[in-house]
């Protein structure tokens, strides 16, 4: 049997387009009839996904797995670091939370364990797939970090992977970035670079040709793709992406705001909303922006208590009751759900300083943060906004939340799903909270929720008969592959 082949995608900078390029290559190879898996040895991100067996991995690798038409599994991302904002990160190793560590101590404590996990996972994947398409992180040429880099050229060298270097021309300095990166690579690493991709190009290709000719002559490496700035919706990797995402749709008549916490997590929950043609999605950071939104979502947070403090400092917390009274809708997901309750207790200081903190006091809930982390896929049935809709999603949270049963106004609230632990809604349908990530992926539920908001704004309903987002995501992958295939010479990497 022919040996498994490997492709490595590295970038001159963060945000060069590595995740998108990896997903596109996965889909293009699958179209050629190959069995393909994505891989990223170590990911640092606050967007996570839960596998079928309850393991936590980077959401970007889950997206790439779907692009490869396979189910996400933990071998695709053995190490996930989740920053907590105080120079510490939670370490997820082989899908399990194994500790919290200072940046300066991480490689001392986890480098050897991490590399062992990476090589073990690569060995397992190599027995099952024709191609392993690997994604790097940041830049492969950070000279102060290269000796302990678990993600970039160490993996490429281990696999002897055909490597593509992706550069973002939209930010300027693309030729300096490419040449500078090559200069800082070791000769054996540089020998693995089989092509350059110039990404996010807005101009006329003819005006770029002289630069391409110079680059190829200087380096002896071909430019195998000049990819235009793509317009389609694609899942974002990190919060830097949110600064560039502006939803402006000619037929949109609803605006939904997502509060952009400093430690926002799992904002991939909102990709299905962003893909709705009648909805403009915007990320908000000030109280004045509430008034321009028909609904506001408090998303997940890696450090819920710290982001709750920020919510008060920004003035958004004190503005929410007035927003609700003026006809707005509020929804909390995971950490945002916890914030809506009466109290959040962190008795052992999991998020920092131990103590009990007041919530927004909008839902009769009490949350206790604990060392035990809940990570599981869930299936349930909706009670609201319509009964009997089958729902799928996943939980990622530390702590438990209980209804505050002795509170007098408990009768004003109902279970959002048949499983009481997953969510709560007030009887007017203006205040929602759930632990379920991926709730908007459920097409019928999403459209029923949007139609309730539309009714409050005296807008006509839109059809509820829509597929789940997974079907739409397949169309996005095919559009992405079609767009990139036109400009990328993949044969140079095969």
Q: Is 437 a catalytic residue?
A: yes
141: burial class by Cβ within 10 Å (0-12, 13-18, 19+)? Answer: buried
Catalytic residue among 15, 59, 177, 437: 437
Contact 60, 38 (CB under 8 A): no
Rounded to two decimals, the pTM is 0.93
Q: Is 121 a catalytic residue?
A: no
Domains belonging to the chain, first-starting first, are 5-233 (3.40.50.300), 246-469 (3.40.50.880)
**Cα 317 versus chain centre, distance:** 25
State whether residue 35 is helix, strand or coil: coil
- The answer on pLDDT for 442 being more than 70 is yes
pLDDT category of residue 247 using cuts at 50, 70 and 90: low
Per-residue pLDDT tens digits for 332-390: 999 999 999 999 999 998 887 889 999 999 999 999 998 889 999 999 999 999 999 99
Please give the pLDDT value at position 239. 52
Q: How far apart are CA 168 and CA 177, in angstroms?
A: 9
Per-residue pLDDT tens digits for 284-321: 999 999 999 999 999 999 999 999 999 999 999 999 99
Please give the pLDDT value at position 330. 98
- What residues are paired with 99 via a beta bridge? 91
Please give the pLDDT value at position 29. 98
* Tokens linked to 331: 């929804």
Region at 69 (left for phi over 0; alpha for psi -120 to 50; beta for the rest): left
Report the pLDDT averaged over residues 7-30.
Answer: 95
* Tokens linked to 72: 């996400």
pLDDT category of residue 244 using cuts at 50, 70 and 90: low
Catalytic residue among 26, 121, 334, 397: 334
């Amino acid at each position: 049997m022919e040996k498994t082949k490997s492709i490595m995608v590295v970038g001159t900078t963060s945000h060069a387009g590595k995740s998108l390029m990896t997903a596109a290559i996965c889909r293009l190879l699958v179209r050629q009839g190959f069995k393909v898996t994505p891989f990223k040895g170590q990911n640092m991100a606050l967007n996570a996904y839960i596998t079928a067996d309850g393991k936590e991995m980077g959401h970007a690798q889950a997206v790439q797995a779907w692009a490869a038409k396979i189910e996400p599994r933990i071998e695709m991302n053995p190490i996930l670091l989740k920053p907590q904002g105080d120079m510490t990160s939670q370490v997820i190793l082989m899908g399990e939370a194994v500790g919290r560590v200072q940046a300066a101590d991480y490689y001392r404590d986890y480098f050897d364990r991490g590399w062992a996990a990476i090589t073990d996972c690569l060995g397992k994947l190599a027995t099952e797939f024709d191609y392993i398409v690997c994604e790097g992180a940041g830049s492969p040429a950070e000279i102060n970090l290269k000796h302990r880099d678990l993600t970039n050229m160490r993996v490429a060298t281990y696999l002897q992977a055909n490597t593509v270097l992706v550069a973002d021309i939209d930010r300027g300095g693309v030729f300096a970035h490419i040449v500078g990166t090559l200069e800082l690579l070791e000769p054996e690493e540089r020998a693995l670079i089989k092509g350059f991709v110039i990404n996010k190009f807005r101009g006329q290709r003819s005006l770029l040709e002289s630069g391409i000719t110079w680059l190829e002559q200087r380096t002896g490496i071909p430019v195998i793709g000049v990819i235009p700035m793509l317009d389609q919706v694609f899942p974002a990797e990190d919060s830097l992406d949110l600064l560039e995402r502006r939803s402006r749709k000619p037929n949109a008549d609803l605006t939904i705001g997502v509060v952009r916490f400093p430690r926002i997590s799992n904002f991939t929950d909102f990709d299905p909303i962003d893909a709705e043609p009648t909805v403009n999605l915007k990320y908000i950071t000030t109280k004045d922006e509430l008034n321009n939104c028909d609904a506001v979502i408090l998303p997940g947070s890696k450090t819920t208590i710290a982001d709750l403090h920020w919510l008060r400092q920004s003035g958004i917390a004190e503005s929410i009751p007035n927003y609700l009274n003026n006809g707005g809708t509020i929804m909390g997901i995971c950490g945002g759900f916890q914030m809506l309750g009466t109290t959040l207790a962190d008795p052992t200081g999991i998020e920092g300083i131990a103590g009990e903190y007041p919530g927004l006091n909008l839902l009769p809930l009490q949350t206790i943060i604990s060392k035990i982390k809940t990570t599981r896929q869930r299936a349930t049935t909706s009670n609201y906004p319509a009964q009997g809709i089958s729902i799928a999603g996943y939980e990622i949270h530390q702590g438990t939340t209980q209804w505050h049963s002795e509170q007098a106004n408990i009768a004003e609230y109902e279970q959002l799903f048949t499983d009481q632990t997953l969510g709560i809604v007030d009887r007017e349908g203006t205040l929602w909270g759930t632990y379920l990530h991926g709730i908007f992926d459920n097409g019928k539920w999403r459209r029923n929720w949007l139609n309730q908001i539309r009714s409050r704004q005296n807008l006509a309903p839109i059809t509820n008969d829509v597929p789940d987002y997974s079907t739409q995501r397949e169309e996005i992958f095919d559009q992405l592959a079609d767009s990139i295939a036109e400009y990328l010479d993949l044969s140079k990497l095969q």
